[in-house]
């Protein structure tokens, strides 16, 4: 009979055998469910011989880096290094509006920084890395779907050379036989906080593809605050688990509004919340009017530079989950 506890035990044994008594493993974490569960499993198996790296790309959610750092190090005991590369990412994103260009810049910069950090780690600690951890799930194995997180980016890149070849890193993929719901069950079994286990997916290019115009530090700040209010209200209303993915997007155009006695000309926030099982089709979430009113009032009152809030009622297809 298959149980999660048995799976954990056999998987930890398998990892220990594979890595050997002195082997070292490196891997990127994002704060998402898959990479966190994979990292925790590695930590249980080989302790600090697993080295996690979190690259702050400057387009993560509000306070996300600090929260992930606290949860993974203090909470889960994972040997984690945070690299603040936000300035590098943001300077390369300057003037870029095209979504595919944003994705390319973020993907390439991520690989560059991850490689540089891996090399630094090897120099500083004198340990040689033997394996690269990937949070690959079963659905990614059977078909490469449109879900490309940092791990997928590393993989495609490293299949054609780079770090994997130079350092002779072998891939280690402890989640490759699991579906998403099994990863969540595994996460709970490993003592990962419920908040993190049930986290909505977040795209690798982050808020950059939710700012529909140029990504500047000011636009990031606005998008972050609006998104934070929306998610906070969703959680307060007890709706977070019923929704598959939700976020606020910042439109690159302005609208007229009145604030007090003044006419203002400010930007527009679009809210998106969907229900889906496979992310290939999705339906918009049917909030009640009171909820939307509360969120829109808070965003307009609390986020400077925004004077209007819209709710996206487009199904997928034809609308994708992201705007870009």
Question: Which residues form the interface with ligand XMP (CB under 6 A)?
Answer: 103, 146-149, 201, 203-205, 245, 279, 316, 320-322
**Which residue, 49 or 102, is less far from ligand XMP as judged by CB?**
102
User: Minimum CB separation from ligand XMP for residue 227, in Å?
Assistant: 13
Smallest separation (angstroms) from ligand XMP to the CB of 203: 3
Q: How many CA atoms lie within 13 A of 155 on its CB side?
A: 16
The reply, when asked if residue 244 is annotated as ligand binding, is no
- Closer to ligand XMP by CB, 142 or 262: give it: 142
To ligand XMP, the closest distance from the beta carbon of 44 in angstroms equals 26
Q: Write down the least CB distance from residue 244 to ligand XMP, Å.
A: 8
**Chain centroid offset of residue 77 CA:** 20
Q: How far apart are CA 120 and CA 128, in angstroms?
A: 11
Check the annotation: does 84 bind a ligand: no
Is residue 35 marked as binding? yes
Residues 298, 307 contacting (CB under 8 angstroms): no
CB nearer to ligand XMP: pick between 89 and 279: 279
- Identify which of residues 174 and 204 has a Cβ nearer to ligand XMP in the complex: 204
Provide the angle, in degrees to the nearest 10, between the axes of the packed helices 33-46 and 180-189.
Answer: 50
DSSP string, 48-79: GGEEEEEEE-S-S-TTHHHHHHIIIIIIT---
State the Cα–Cα distance between residues 302 and 305, nearest whole angstrom: 9
Q: How far is the CB of 152 from ligand XMP (least distance, A)?
A: 7
**Residue 34 counted as an annotated binding residue:** yes
132/307 with CB nearer ligand XMP: 132
**Annotated binding residue 25:** no
Q: Is 166 annotated as a binding residue?
A: no
Per the annotation, where are the binding residues for ATP?
Answer: 30-36
């Amino acid at each position: 009979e298959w149980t999660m506890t048995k799976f954990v035990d056999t998987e930890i044994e398998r990892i220990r055998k594979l890595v050997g008594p002195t082997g070292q493993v490196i891997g990127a974490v994002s704060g998402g469910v898959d990479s966190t569960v994979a990292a925790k499993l590695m930590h249980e198996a080989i302790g600090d011989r697993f080295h996690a790296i979190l690259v702050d790309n400057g387009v993560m959610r509000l306070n996300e880096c600090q929260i992930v750092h606290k949860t993974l190090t203090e909470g889960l005991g994972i040997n984690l290094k945070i690299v603040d590369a936000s300035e590098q990412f943001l300077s390369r994103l300057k003037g870029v509006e095209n979504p595919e260009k944003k994705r390319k810049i973020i993907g390439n910069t991520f690989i560059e920084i991850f490689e540089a950090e891996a090399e630094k780690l090897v120099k500083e600690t004198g340990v040689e890395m033997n394996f690269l951890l990937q949070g690959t799930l079963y659905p990614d194995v059977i078909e490469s779907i449109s879900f490309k997180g940092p791990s997928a980016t590393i993989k495609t890149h490293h299949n054609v050379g780079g770090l994997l070849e130079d350092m002779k890193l072998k891939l280690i993929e402890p989640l490759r036989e699991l579906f998403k719901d099994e990863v969540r069950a595994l996460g709970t079994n490993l003592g990962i906080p419920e908040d993190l286990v049930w986290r909505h997916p977040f795209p690798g290019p982050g808020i950059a593809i939710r700012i529909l115009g140029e990504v500047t530090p000011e636009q990031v700040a606005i998008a972050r605050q609006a998104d934070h209010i929306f998610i906070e209200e969703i959680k307060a209303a007890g709706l977070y688990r019923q929704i598959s993915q939700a976020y606020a997007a910042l439109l690159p155009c302005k609208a007229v509004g009145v604030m007090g006695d003044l006419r203002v000309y400010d930007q527009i926030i679009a809210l998106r919340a969907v229900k889906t099982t496979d992310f290939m089709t999705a339906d918009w979430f049917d909030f009640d009017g009171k909820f939307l009113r509360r969120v829109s009032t808070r965003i307009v009152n609390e986020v400077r530079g925004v004077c209007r809030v819209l709710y996206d009622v487009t199904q997928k297809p034809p609308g994708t989950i992201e705007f870009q």
